[in-house]
Amino acid sequence: MPVEPPVETPRDLAEAFRLMALSPRTPIAGGTDLMVRITGEIGSPPDQVLDLSRLEELRGIALEDGRLTLGALTTYAEIRRSGLVARSLPVLAEAAATVGAVQIQNRGTLGGNIANASPAGDTLPLLLALEAVIEVGGARGERSIPADQFWIAYRTTALAPDELVLRVRIPLVEARQVRFRKVGTRRAQAISKVVLALAWEQADRKDRWSHVRLALGSVADRPIRARSTELYLEGSRATLETADGAAETVAAEIRPIDDVRSTADYRRQVTARILHRIIRDAGGW
């Protein structure tokens, strides 16, 4: 039985900040997470809702100082349609295409995925691997939070109660390779059993890997970086030995759980195998 909390719709960011400063309100962007909570069956429903839909400041995709900037209200459909994304960071469009299905992609936003902080949020490992910076703000001002400091505990972010997610900035790096893989139960409308993003730098295919970033979703209480595996891969080449070692390292590094979607064993094994596959493909053997 749904509740109907009061909703306010600020016209600009200043008004939104002012309202948030009065007392904490629950922002609503696309509502694809929030409306699930409105029934009160799963978690507590919001008391007071702040509708972000008129905040034009939070829209748009742009290229600024070598960084791809996406407003918090950017939808998955917009990401998929964006020529800029297709040219500068196609892997982001690839990830957006795996979220829910068309209806969810039309409404769901990047900012919502970030603030919702689900351990299975599909874009979050990618933001971690790409070393994105999340810009947040409120009446007290704006600040930048590196992605790896944003999701601090189970469904908990570094966001203060009076702050909003404003935008995301992703550095574009010339020689960077990025791979994304989501494993769900079905081909659409599936919450990830494992989601993996891997980035590394390599000027030439024969070069050793540097600046390796491996991030994972659905294998911990929050999206995580697999730092031991990153270290293992740093400076290596894409050989069978590397792939075997990386697979073993990541399997030892993560502590997934059994839940209603899958088992700890499966998650560990599949994380290792898809990482192994990515290295195999990169090595071309």
Ligand X SMILES: Cc1cc2nc3c(=O)[nH]c(=O)nc-3n(C[C@H](O)[C@H](O)[C@H](O)COP(=O)(O)OP(=O)(O)OC[C@H]3O[C@@H](n4cnc5c(N)ncnc54)[C@H](O)[C@@H]3O)c2cc1C
Of 112, 100, 101, the residue nearest 28 (C-alpha): 112
Nearer to another protein, 1 or 203 (CB): 1
Asked if residue 280 binds another protein (CB under 8 A), the reply is yes
Asked if residue 208 binds another protein (CB under 8 A), the reply is no
The structure tokens listed for 105 are: 């992609």
Asked if residue 273 binds another protein (CB under 8 A), the reply is yes
The one among 10, 111, 223, 256 contacting ligand X by CB under 6 A: 111
DSSP letter, residue 149: G
Least Å distance between CB 93 and another protein?
18
Nearer to another protein, 149 or 185 (CB): 185
Q: In which region does residue 272 sit, left (phi positive, over 0), alpha (psi from -120 to 50) or beta (all else)?
A: alpha
Collapse the DSSP code of 216 into the 3-class scheme (helix H, G, I; strand E, B; otherwise coil) and give the result.
strand
Least Å distance between CB 147 and another protein?
26
Nearer to ligand X, 136 or 199 (CB): 136
Q: How long is the chain?
A: 285
Tell me the C-alpha distance between 127 and 217, whole Å.
11
Cβ contact 195:218 at 8 Å = yes
Least Å distance between CB 134 and ligand X?
10
Asked if residue 270 binds another protein (CB under 8 A), the reply is yes
The one among 6, 65, 83, 187 contacting another protein by CB under 8 A: 187
Least Å distance between CB 199 and ligand X?
19
Query: In the range 220-259, which residues lie near another protein by CB under 8 A?
Result: 243-244, 247-248, 251, 257-259
CA torsion angle 276 278 282 283 (round to 10): 20
Cβ contact 105:76 at 8 Å = yes
Nearer to another protein, 39 or 144 (CB): 39
Beta partners for residue 137, in sequence order = 142, 164
Taking CB under 6 A as the rule, which mask of x and - marks residues 20-49 in contact with ligand X? Answer: ------xxxxxxxxx-x-------------
**Mind spelling out the 3-state secondary structure of 40-100?**
CCCCCCCCCEEECCCCHHHCCEEEECCEEEEECCCEHHHHHHCHHHHHHCHHHHHHHCCCC
Instruction: Please give the residue ranges that form the binding site for ligand X (CB under 6 A).
Output: 26-34, 36, 52, 72, 99-100, 104, 107-109, 111-113, 115-116, 121-122, 164-165, 189, 191
Instruction: Please give the residue ranges that form the binding site for another protein (CB under 8 A).
Output: 1, 36, 39, 41, 101, 183, 185-191, 193, 243-244, 247-248, 251, 257-263, 265-266, 269-270, 272-274, 276-277, 280
